[in-house]
Amino acid sequence: MKICVFGAGAIGGYMAGELALAGHEVCAIARGSHLAAIRSHGLKLIVEGRTRTVDLPASDDPAAFGPQDVVICALKAQQAHASAGAFAPLLGPRTAVLTAMNGIPWWYFYKERGRLDGHHLESVDRGATQWNAIGAERAIGCVVDPACEVVAPGVIEHRLFKRFTIGEPDGSTSDRIVALRDALVSAGFDAPIRDTIRWNIWLKLWGNVCFNPISALTLATLDRVTSEPGLRALCKSMMAEAQAVAAALGVAITAQMMERRLNAAGSVVGHKISMLQDLERGRSLEIDALVTAVQEMGRLVKVATPTIDAVLALVQERGRQAGLYSHDISRADGSDEWSDYRLD
């Protein structure tokens, strides 16, 4: 399979390296010192204590590569929006785009089959830029579980988990998703196909909608956010509001899962969740896909989200004061933030 990984940082680089080692024709879009290292010395993967080096073509210009069978988008949501036009050289008539990203995806209402079918979300796809430039018909959903880190330019260490849950927006088991599943499995990943990928997206978002902004506001690690009584109560309030929004959209997450989600997160002692890491490292904050989108969807289905609204206003201002957030961001900053650490 011919695959381009757009954003070959922690998760993208992990996927690119393993897929290339499995014999697929893989290229990568990267930048900065990370790109320079990949070009000079290859991409190094550290998995289960073993280091392997992968030689694969890499560039910061997608025009260097032709149309692909699959483009894996492993960017942050705001970077993906800013880069939408750059996907064009990679897109052939049948190219699929796997959105290996956190939060609510820009294609969420494509073939959703509810009353909002075909609606685009302004919070994550301002002006329907991705919907029009990439095409919602290309999208395949993905929920990312692995934890990886770029420990040095061109060097990616895998820490935990190997599962990438995937699903078609219409819930079908299409030929293209079966081919993609087979490619991912051949690379050693777990890649279950789900006919309700939006449920999996919401399940992960259920934690991210509260853990990330609360951590950025308080500077608290994940175990602290989920165990300190006041912060845990705040998490529960935000999770209950998100659950109500999801339910209004036909996605049922049982209340009994809340304690399990909180307890599981709390077991990761000392972990700084991604938004706090970004704040500390001076990288743009992924607020809109994780929080603003829930607020927008709540308004669409007339479900009140007062706690989410309040926390969102606070974290947006925290981001603005640090110069790391604007809903009008049109491009990613100049850092190597495609090389981010991901465990949320």
pLDDT the model gives residue 344: 57
Distance between first and last Cα of the chain: 29
Alpha helix segments (H runs only) across the chain: 10-21, 32-41, 77-82, 129-130, 175-186, 197-218, 222-227, 229-248, 256-266, 274-281, 293-300, 306-321
Residue 265 pLDDT > 90, yes or no?
no
pLDDT the model gives residue 83: 95
Hey, what domains does the chain have and what are their CATH numbers? 2-195 (3.40.50.720), 199-332 (1.10.1040.10)
List 44, 76, 204, 272, catalytic entry: 204
Residue-wise pLDDT for 3-47, tens only, equals 999 999 999 999 999 999 999 999 999 999 999 999 999 999 999
pLDDT the model gives residue 330: 41
pLDDT the model gives residue 340: 52
Q: Cβ atoms within 10 A of the Cβ of 268, count?
A: 16
204 is catalytic: yes
**Percent of the chain at pLDDT exceeding 90:** 86
**Percent of the chain at pLDDT exceeding 70:** 95
Residue 108 pLDDT > 60, yes or no?
yes
When the pLDDT of each residue in the chain is averaged and rounded to a whole number, the result is 93
Residue 221 pLDDT > 90, yes or no?
yes
pLDDT the model gives residue 240: 96
Residue-wise pLDDT for 159-208, tens only, equals 889 999 999 999 999 999 999 999 999 999 999 999 999 999 999 999 99
d(CA 269, CA 264): 10
Residue 282 pLDDT > 50, yes or no?
yes
> Side-chain half-sphere of 246: how many Cα atoms within 13 Å?
24
pLDDT the model gives residue 50: 94
Handedness of CA 67, 57, 132, 70 (dihedral sign): positive
Look up residue 272 and give its DSSP letter.
P
Residue-wise pLDDT for 114-138, tens only, equals 999 999 999 999 999 999 999 999 9
Higher-scoring residue by pLDDT: 259, 166 = 166
β-pairing, 2-6 vs 68-73, is: parallel
